[in-house]
Amino acid sequence: MQKTKDIIMDYLELPRPIALVLDAAGNIEHLSIEACQLLGYELSEILGANWVSMCLPQRWQLKTKRMYDAVSADYNEEPQCHTYPVLAKNGRQHPLAWHIEQRHSPSGAIVGSISTGIKVRDNALQEKNALLQSAARNQAVLDNAIEAIISINAQGTITHVNKTTEKIFGYPEEELLGQNITFLIPDTEKPLEHYRATLWNYMMPDSNKLIGINRELGAKHKDGHQLPIELTVAEISIAGIRSFTGIMRDISERKLSEARLKQSKEEVQQARDRLAHMDRLHIASEMSTGIAHELNQPLTAISMYAQACRNLVDNGKSDIKSLLSTLLRIDKQAQRAGDIIRNIRALVGKQDPHHQLTNINDLIHSTIELAQVDIECRTITFKCQCSETLPMIEIVSGQIQQVILNLIRNAGDAMVDLKPQEKIISIISEQTCQDFISIIVRDTGVGLDIDQPNEQLFQPFYSTKTHGMGMGLAISHSIVHNHGGKLCANKNYSDGAEFSFTLPVMPILGDH
Amino acid sequence: MNNNQTIYIVDDDPDVLDAMSMLLQSTGLTTKTHHSGQDFLDNNIPLLIGCVILDVRMPNMSGLQLQLDIKRKNPTLPVVFVTGHGDVPMAVQAMKNGAIEFLQKPFRDQEFIDCVHRALYINNLATNEREHLRSIQDRIDSLTKREHQIMRHIADGDMTKIIANKLNISPRTVEIHRARAMEKMRVKTVAQLVHIVMESEAQ
C-alpha cells in the first residue's frame, strides 16, 4: 500500500531541479533545500560529507566518482550530462538526470563542480510502455488493413503477417511464418527460378525504382484457387538488415468487374459490327439490281465472244490470230466479273475488324468504283481533289469505305432529280492539322435543311428518303467516332450538301 | 436477207458492245457500233435499213427514249432491247412502243441471233412493202388527171356507161383511158386495178 502511495506521490510531485556544489575532492559544499528534502537530511547534517560515498547507491559510486574526478581534473572538460540515482536517508533511490559543470576560482583554477539534477521518474518504463502502446496500435492498424501486409527478409522468408493475410490467403499465421514468399505467390506462368529472380529484382537495393510500384501477380489461396493480387513492395533497412514489406490487395473483385466491363465492351463492339454489317447488307440490297446488271455485262460478253469463236471455227473462216484476240477478250471479261464479285464480297462479307495501314486516296477511288456498280451513280461526275502528301493511316478500311460509300450514295440520292451534267460529287482529302486527315464529300443536290439540328441527322432511323432505313449516317457516325474522328455536316455550304469526317493520323486503338 | 441490212448496236458498255458486234459478224452480218444514243442519232435515221439493238439503261439518254425517236424517224427500223435488269413496266412500255424483243442478259446466244434475224426479216418485209407502195405511188403519179379520175370511179365500182354519163364523155373514151391506166398501173384485170388502188389508199 505504502509503496503504491509512494509511486503515486512520485507521479504527482512536480519535478523540481536540485543543485549540488562540490569541492575538488568531492565533498559537499552546498546543497539546495530541494536536495535536502529529497534526501531527507538536514543541511547541517550533510555539509562536508563526501557526496558520492554518502548519497549514492553502492554500485553507482565508483563510476560516478571517476566521472567527478575527471570533471575536476581536466581544464577542457565540457559540461556533462549523466543520469545516476541518489540514495535518500530512508534508503529509497531516486533516479536523477544531472548536468555537471566545472567550478572555477576567480584565478581560473578548478575548485570543484556544480551539478543540477532533475528527477527522472520511471521514464524508461514509460518509454517502454509508450513503445508497447505504439506497437499495439500499429499492430491493430496492420491487422485491420484491408490489404495483406507481409514482411519478408532478404532471403524471401516470411517474418511477419497481419490478420488480413490470413483472411485473404486462408492460412493461419503460424503456417506462414518461416515459409518462403513463393509459397504464397507461385508464378504459374514462369518457372519458379525465374520468379525468384523477378522477386529478387524487386528487392535489390539498386532496383529502387521498382519498389513501390504496383504490380499484378497471381497468388494462391490455401484451397488452391488462383488469387489475383496487386503487390506493392516497400524496403525497410534497420541497423543494416534489409527487410521488405509487401502490401497485397486482393483484386479478384476488380478483376471480375474488369472482365465484365471488357465483356460488355466487346458485346457493344460486336453489336456495332453487326449493325454496320446490316447497313452494308442494306446498301448491297439497294444496289443488287445494279450489281446483277454489272455482273451480267461480262458474263454476256464472255458468252457472246465464245459463240463468235465457235461460229468462226464452224464457218472455216477462223484464223488463229483473231481467235487468240477473242480469247484474250474473254479472259479480260472473266477478270472483270471476278473484280465485281470481290468488290461485293468486300461490301457484304463480315469484315476484318482490325486496323490496317491504308492509303486513304486509294480507298476513295475504289469506293467510287464500287458506288458506280449502281447505274444511277454512273451518270454522276466525280471530282477528286486528293492531297498527294497524306500519310498512310491505320484504319479498319472496310468500315471507312462504308462511310464514304454511305456519303456518296446519300449525295447521289440528293441529286436524283437533276440533269446528268449537273450531278457532281466532289471528294476532297487533305491533312487539316498535324494529327488529323479530313475527307469532305460535297454534292450539288437539294442540300440540308438549315433548321434541322445536326444531331438529328446522325440519329438512327432518321431519314428524309422514301426508301432506306435511316441507319447509314448513324452507323457512319459511330464508325468514325470509333476511329477517334468526327463526322459532321457543314450547313454553311450552300451549293448542296457537304459532309466531312476526320481520321487521326496516329490510330486511337480501343474503345471510346 | 437483204445484203444492205446493217445491225446498229447501241450500248454504253464497250466490252458488251464489242462482243455483240463480234458475235453477229461471225454469223456473216454487218454491224455498226455506237456507244451512246446521241452517237447513233448522228446517222441519217430515215435511210437506215436493218435493225437496232438497244441497251435499255444508258446514262444520259435511255433506250426507251431513243426507241421513240427512231420510231418517229424510221418506223420500219425494228428495235431489239437487251437489258441487264429490265423490270416489267419497262418491258411492257418497250413492247407497246413496238419493240421486237426484250432480251434479258445474260441470254443464250442463239436466242439473240434468232431475234436479230427476226428483226431483219421484219425490216425486210417492211422495206419491201415500202418499196412496193412507193412503186404503186410512182405509177399512180404517172397517170393523167383523166386517167386517175376514171380509175377512182372504177375502184368505186361504177360501170363504164355510168362513168361516161357522170363525166359526160363517151363510153368509148372511158374505155381508152381505162386501158391506158391499167397499162400504166401494170395490171391485167380490173380486179387487180381495184386491189392496187385500195392498197395505195390504205396508207
CATH number of the domain to which A67 belongs: 3.30.450.20
Give B110's contacts in chain A (Cβ within 8 Å).
Answer: 307
DSSP assignment of B64-96 equals HHHHHHHHHH-TTS-EEEEESS--HHHHHHHHH
Considering the domain architecture, whether residues A275 and A411 belong to the same structural domain is answered as yes
Q: Judge whether residue A209 has pLDDT over 50.
A: no
The angle subtended at Cα A284 by Cα A351 and Cα A379, nearest 5°, is: 120
B15 touches chain A (CB under 8 A): yes
Q: What integer is the mean pLDDT of A294-299?
A: 85
Asked whether the beta carbons of residue B19 and residue A311 sit closer than 8 angstroms, the reply is no
Q: What integer is the mean pLDDT of B44-49?
A: 90
Asked whether the beta carbons of residue A293 and residue B85 sit closer than 8 angstroms, the reply is yes
Confidence of residue A441 (pLDDT cuts 50, 70, 90): very high
Are residues B8 and B79 in contact, defined by beta-carbon separation less than 8 angstroms? no
**CB nearest A375 (choices: B28, B57, B82):** B57
State pLDDT tens for residues A376-388.
Answer: 777 888 999 988 8
Asked whether the beta carbons of residue A293 and residue B15 sit closer than 8 angstroms, the reply is no
Instruction: Give this complex's ipTM.
Output: 0.73
Instruction: Let me know if residue A1 belongs to a domain.
Output: no
Q: What is the CATH number of the domain that holds A275?
A: 3.30.565.10
CA distance B1 to chain A (A): 18
Instruction: Report pLDDT for B2.
Output: 57
Chain A residues 319-338 within an 8 A CB cutoff of chain B: 326, 329, 332-333, 336
**CB nearest A304 (choices: B22, B60, B85):** B22
Considering the domain architecture, whether residues A315 and A427 belong to the same structural domain is answered as yes
| A113-122, A276-285, A368-377, A396-405, range with greatest mean pLDDT | A396-405
Instruction: Let me know if residue A308 belongs to a domain.
Output: yes
Instruction: Let me know if residue A128 belongs to a domain.
Output: no
Asked whether the beta carbons of residue B106 and residue A293 sit closer than 8 angstroms, the reply is no
Q: What integer is the mean pLDDT of A19-25?
A: 87
Instruction: Report pLDDT for A468.
Output: 61
Q: Judge whether residue B21 has pLDDT over 90.
A: yes
B60 touches chain A (CB under 8 A): yes
- The rounded distance, in Å, linking the Cα atoms of B30 and A89 is 152
Instruction: Report pLDDT for A70.
Output: 81
Give B59's contacts in chain A (Cβ within 8 Å).
Answer: 375, 378-379, 420
Q: Judge whether residue A439 has pLDDT over 90.
A: yes
CA distances (Å), A337 to each of A9, A269, A293, A373, in order?
112, 34, 11, 12
Helices (H) and strands (E) in chain B, counts: 9, 5
Instruction: Let me know if residue A327 belongs to a domain.
Output: yes
Percentage of chain A exceeding pLDDT 70: 83
Q: What integer is the mean pLDDT of B177-199?
A: 87
**CB nearest A293 (choices: B84, B108, B109):** B84
Give B82's contacts in chain A (Cβ within 8 Å).
Answer: 300
Considering the domain architecture, whether residues A463 and A338 belong to the same structural domain is answered as yes
Instruction: Let me know if residue A3 belongs to a domain.
Output: no
Instruction: Report pLDDT for A508.
Output: 61
Residue identified by cell 488493413 is A145
Considering the domain architecture, whether residues A238 and A286 belong to the same structural domain is answered as no
A420 touches chain B (CB under 8 A): yes
Instruction: Report pLDDT for B203.
Output: 64
A123-136 b/e (C-beta count within 10 Å ≥ 16 → b): eeeeeeeeeeeeee
Collapsing DSSP to helix, strand or coil, A188 comes out as: coil
Instruction: Report pLDDT for A8.
Output: 62
CA distance A306 to chain B (A): 8
State pLDDT tens for residues A154-207.
Answer: 777 888 888 888 888 888 888 888 887 777 776 544 444 444 555 555 555 444
Instruction: Let me know if residue A127 belongs to a domain.
Output: no
Q: Among residues A122, A155, A181, which one ends one of the domains?
A: A122
Domain count, chain A: 3
Provide the grid cell at A115.
Answer: 551539478
Q: Which domain holds residue A408?
A: 262-504
Instruction: Let me know if residue A224 belongs to a domain.
Output: yes
Asked whether the beta carbons of residue A378 and residue B28 sit closer than 8 angstroms, the reply is no
Give A293's contacts in chain B (Cβ within 8 Å).
Answer: 57, 83-85, 105
Are residues B162 and B170 in contact, defined by beta-carbon separation less than 8 angstroms? no
Q: Which of A146-155, A192-201, A320-329, B55-64 has the lowest mean pLDDT?
A: A192-201
Asked whether the beta carbons of residue B109 and residue A303 sit closer than 8 angstroms, the reply is yes
State pLDDT tens for residues B92-127.
Answer: 888 888 898 888 877 888 889 999 999 999 999 988
Instruction: Report pLDDT for B7.
Output: 94
Considering the domain architecture, whether residues A85 and A21 belong to the same structural domain is answered as yes
Collapsing DSSP to helix, strand or coil, B50 comes out as: strand
Asked whether the beta carbons of residue A290 and residue B85 sit closer than 8 angstroms, the reply is yes
Instruction: Report pLDDT for B51.
Output: 93
State pLDDT tens for residues A99-121.
Answer: 888 888 888 788 888 888 887 76
> What dotted CATH number matches B6-131?
3.40.50.2300
Asked whether the beta carbons of residue A304 and residue B13 sit closer than 8 angstroms, the reply is no
Phi and psi torsions of A276, nearest 5°: -60, -40
Give A378's contacts in chain B (Cβ within 8 Å).
Answer: 59
Q: Which residue is closest to A317 within chain B, CA to CA?
A: B26
Confidence of residue A208 (pLDDT cuts 50, 70, 90): very low
State pLDDT tens for residues B144-168.
Answer: 998 888 888 888 888 888 888 888 9
Confidence of residue A425 (pLDDT cuts 50, 70, 90): very high
Residues carrying CATH 3.40.50.2300, chain B: 6-131
Closest CA to A30 of A94, A91, A100, A112: A112
Q: Which of A13-22, A246-255, A472-481, B45-54 has the lowest mean pLDDT?
A: A13-22
> Order of strands, edge to edge, in the sheet holding A436-443?
A381-386, A424-431, A436-443, A498-504, A487-489
Give B31's contacts in chain A (Cβ within 8 Å).
Answer: none
- Helices within A76-172 (DSSP H only): 123-144, 163-169
Instruction: Report pLDDT for A192.
Output: 44
Considering the domain architecture, whether residues A88 and A49 belong to the same structural domain is answered as yes
Which are the contacts of B5, defined by CB distance < 8 A and separation ≥ 6? B29, B30, B49, B50, B51, B120, B123, B124
Instruction: Let me know if residue A213 belongs to a domain.
Output: yes
Chain B residues 98-117 within an 8 A CB cutoff of chain A: 105-110, 112
Instruction: Report pLDDT for A207.
Output: 44
Asked whether the beta carbons of residue A311 and residue B16 sit closer than 8 angstroms, the reply is no
Considering the domain architecture, whether residues A242 and A292 belong to the same structural domain is answered as no
Q: Is domain B143-202 annotated with CATH 1.10.10.10?
A: yes
